[in-house]
Amino acid sequence: VVFVIVYLYYMFNRKSKIANIDEKYVLITGCDSGFGRAIAERLDQVGVNVFAACLTDSAVNELKVHSKKMIPFVLDVTNSEQIKNTVALVKKKLPDGKGLWGLVNNAGIADSGFIEWLPMETFRKVADVNLFGLIEVTCQFLPLIKKEKGRVVNMASLAGIQAPPVTAPYSISKFGLVAFTNTLRFEMLAFGVRVCCICPTFFRTNILDTEKLVTGMNTLFEAVNDEVKESYKD
């Protein structure tokens, strides 16, 4: 968490170098907890106008209490209609002639298990959030980012560079995210838009809830057929 905060501090909190920081607008996804919540609160603290996208109403209410300036709202990044509604909300809140100074794609989920234990639906579910949802959000907001010559910050993972065991759905989605980021970076050069990817190692966020991971692995094991189950007993 410290690494991510320091990096974003460098990116967004250079008050002596960034003029009129209180006139900058940033959209962050996945602000319910973890990196997203920390980034949203920090940028709000230094004066940036933050659009904080959360998955749950409870997180929205918590952020409303935290700040009167921040604009929290519900967004499921796999829901195309909600994404379009978010674009409309942001356009409505932005002053005339303004675009988005930054987009932080942080929303993500993880499911763990040996590949042989995992149903295909798990691979699809994780990719829908971590990759395809992120791509759709980015594409919908690129016109506003280009307008401001802003930046896109994608939260990937070390698992997007080196895939550990039992992380196949998550790692596949993060490898894809790194590839998307690299491609988008080159395509946006002509528009003066910066695109970067942060690949943190293992931090104590909700994604690394040990109890939840163990429970999930046990549930997967119980669901596999007897032949597969027998092969993993040793």
Which of the residues are catalytic? 170
Q: How many CA atoms lie within 13 A of 234 on its CB side?
A: 1
Q: Dihedral of CA 25/202/124/160: which sign?
A: positive
Query: Strand (E) positions, 3-101?
Result: 25-28, 49-54, 71-74
* Backbone torsions φ then ψ of 197, nearest 5 degrees: -130, 130
Query: Strand (E) positions, the chain?
Result: 25-28, 49-54, 71-74, 102-105, 151-155, 194-198
Query: What is the C-alpha separation between 166 and 170, in angstroms, rounded?
Result: 9
